[in-house]
Amino acid sequence: MSATEQRYPQIDKKALAIVWAVQKFFYYLYARHFTIITDHKPLTQILHPEKSLPTLCISRMANYADYLSHFDFDVIFKPTKANINADYCSRIPVSSTKTVTHQVTLEEREEIEYDGFDHFVLHQIKQLPVDAERIAREMRKDPHLGKILQQLEAGQDLARSGYKAPEANYRLGSNCLVLENQVVIPPVFRETILKELHTAHLGIVKMKGLARSFVFWPGIDSDIEGKAKTCSECARNAHEPPKYRSHHWEYPKSPCERIHIDYAGPVAGKMLLIIVDAYSKWLEVKVTSSTTASATIVIMEELFSAYGAPVTIVSDNGPQFAAIEFKSFLQGSGVKFHKFIAPATNGQAERCVQTVKDALKTMATTPGSLQHNLNKFLCQYRKAPHATTGQSPAQLFLGRTIRTRLDLVRADGADVKATQKRQAVADSTFRKFQPTQKVYFLSGNPRMDKWIPGTIVTRLGDLHYEIDYQGKRFRRHVDQMRPRWIKEDHQRWINSQDQGAGRTSPRQIRFYGDSEAKSTASPTSTRNSLSRSSSDPSDMRHFVSLSDDSSDPPCVTLSSGSDTPPASPPRKRKRTPPPPAPRRTTLA
């Protein structure tokens, strides 16, 4: 209390104590009903929330009453002798002036007749933690710890005496055994220390962390775990156990061996039936206005007629799937049916539901464009390689890739595997941004768009950047950013790629005849010649050379046996002998 508050009248001091206590426990008392117990009866009239203030009341007391009027409480008067909880500190009993004939122990004293206040004081003393003197006294009484204590006082080395860790690391401090900065607790006080560590019902990890700062005994970790696990109050108020998220399914061996189905929506006023094949990840989405068992059967019959009946169907516990009509339909079609209550068990369909809904939402789908946007999404989804299989769903389900407009950019018969390999090596999975680069970053404001455009100002570290948006600076992690492409940047990137590529050397094609080359032809020959052998057509040797040098135009050369092909060895082919000449018969 301040010097001014110490000069308050007794009634003002009582009221000040009540106001201070309410302010101290504000977060526990506000918006809750509580009771104020005081041994000053006038305060029950002055501070009562439903009673008026007296006519003669100083402004200080009126301010106290006005502050307490915001709370929901009752004021109860209790006499001073009955209000022993609050008066404990000011009413500690003094030593008796009577002559004590003999000294009694604590247990004998508890048997003597005491009033209520004496019992309260004794109970408070029992709740105090054990002190160092009692620990040192009980440690000498313990056979094992007392022997160690005597050896340390005699200056002996515990390691040479046959003790092993951690007992070999004990040291002597303040007549107690100490391990580093932890006091070794004798067995008689270990249960008391465990109760003190668990008095706030902390978890096992926090209890261990608190114990490592003060106390130690062999097996303290297991004792703490046992104390926390056997606490009935903690068990009644424990949280739910962690959910099992890895629901393993045996991977199917072929398409349509197992399919997962689920309903999604409403999306643009319609419901979507999601069907996904577990082997190929082939996705089917059917738009419907009804989710009844009859409507579901009609859609499944259409799919069965197009792709055949699957071996197994997996669904959640939806009413349309739990209907007897739907089960009878699958049984008649020879399909096994698995229905699970937990949605996580049908995770294949649940994941596809999220993918479809996010794609349609991003495409700003309306009731009029629902089917069109859905067809565009399915076309690209089925053609793109899946992260799990590494191949497109169309390749695994249909045995071929479906054709889209993207196939027009690829020349017929061109080998694109090498190009794809080079791109996979060149593209880095770690995103990096440069100053003045245009990006999108997360706004973090629900009243703004999710992604807002900005410009990189500087790089703050390996993963953090400073971004300018409308004159304001924002700091974002690389996971909260993605590049923003505009036409000028895209054309500049294309030009840089063309300049880096350079001029590639032309391709040369040669076809050689059956005979092996024995000499090297001139590489600068540009002569076109065509000759025939007058003796035997079977002795003709042919080769065609298509070349392109920097100085000479391309040429095609057909050469006879007199010319020699280039030094590259030709590919040997099995020579087919000419058919025999017809025999002439002369009639006499």
φ/ψ of 304, rounded to 5, equals -65, -35
Using an 8 Å Cβ cutoff, are 482 and 451 in contact?
yes
At 474 the pLDDT is: 93
Domain end marker among 361, 389, 407:
407
Q: Are residues 217 and 328 in the same domain?
A: no
Q: Are residues 227 and 151 in the same domain?
A: yes
Q: What is the H or E stretch that residue 173 is in?
A: strand 171-173
Please, which residues have CB within 8 angstroms of residue 482's CB and are 6 or more apart in sequence? 431, 439, 440, 441, 451
In a domain, 377, yes or no: yes
Centroid of chain to Cα 165? 41
Q: Are residues 381 and 291 in the same domain?
A: yes
Q: Are residues 399 and 367 in the same domain?
A: yes
In a domain, 384, yes or no: yes
φ/ψ of 556, rounded to 5, equals -120, 125
Measured distance CA(553)–CA(315) in Å, rounded: 69
Domain end marker among 445, 470, 487:
487
In a domain, 122, yes or no: no
Q: State in Å, rounded, how far the first CA of the chain is from the last one.
A: 156
Using an 8 Å Cβ cutoff, are 153 and 171 in contact?
no
In a domain, 41, yes or no: yes
φ/ψ of 6, rounded to 5, equals -70, -20
Residues 323-329: contacts with CB within 8 Å, 24+ apart? 323/293, 325/293, 325/294, 325/297, 326/293, 326/296, 326/297, 329/297, 329/300
Task: Count the domains in the chain.
Answer: 4
Q: Are residues 346 and 468 in the same domain?
A: no
Measured distance CA(352)–CA(360) in Å, rounded: 12
Instruction: Provide the 10 A C-beta neighbour count for residue 228.
Output: 21
Please, which residues have CB within 8 angstroms of residue 404's CB and are 6 or more apart in sequence? 379, 380, 383
Amino acid at 251: Y
Domain end marker among 235, 267, 295:
235
At 243 the pLDDT is: 64
Q: What is the H or E stretch that residue 211 is in?
A: helix 204-211
Using an 8 Å Cβ cutoff, are 316 and 388 in contact?
no
Q: What is the H or E stretch that residue 452 is in?
A: strand 451-459
Measured distance CA(16)–CA(500) in Å, rounded: 82
In a domain, 117, yes or no: no
Closest CA to 360 of 385, 383, 378, 348: 378
Average pLDDT value over all residues in the chain: 76
Q: Are residues 397 and 273 in the same domain?
A: yes
Global confidence as pTM: 0.36
In a domain, 246, yes or no: no
Measured CA distances, 492 to 48, 426, 482, 489, 503 (Å): 79, 18, 19, 5, 19
Amino acid at 202: L
Domain that holds residue 201: 130-235
Q: Are residues 390 and 279 in the same domain?
A: yes
Measured distance CA(124)–CA(189) in Å, rounded: 18
Closest CA to 371 of 306, 304, 288: 288
Percent of the chain as helix, strand, coil, to the nearest 5: 35, 15, 45
Q: Are residues 442 and 402 in the same domain?
A: no
Domain holding 350: CATH number? 3.30.420.10
Q: Are residues 297 and 397 in the same domain?
A: yes
At 469 the pLDDT is: 92
Measured distance CA(78)–CA(87) in Å, rounded: 12
- Per DSSP, 143 falls in state H
At 577 the pLDDT is: 56
Write down the H helix ranges in 336-416: 347-362, 370-383, 393-398
Q: Are residues 371 and 446 in the same domain?
A: no
Measured CA distances, 288 to 241, 252, 346 (Å): 38, 29, 21
The parts of the chain modelled with pLDDT lower than 70 are 55-57, 88-129, 242-248, 341-345, 411-430, 487, 489-491, 493-494, 496-588
Q: Are residues 320 and 367 in the same domain?
A: yes
Residue 76 CB burial class (10 angstroms; 0-12, 13-18, ≥19) = exposed
SS3 441: strand
Instruction: Provide the 10 A C-beta neighbour count for residue 253.
Output: 9
Q: What is the H or E stretch that residue 300 is in?
A: helix 293-307
Domain holding 159: CATH number? 1.10.340.70
Using an 8 Å Cβ cutoff, are 10 and 43 in contact?
no
In a domain, 544, yes or no: no
In a domain, 107, yes or no: no
At 473 the pLDDT is: 92
Domain holding 465: CATH number? 2.30.30
Q: Are residues 333 and 370 in the same domain?
A: yes
Helices and strands: H and E segment counts in the chain:
20, 19
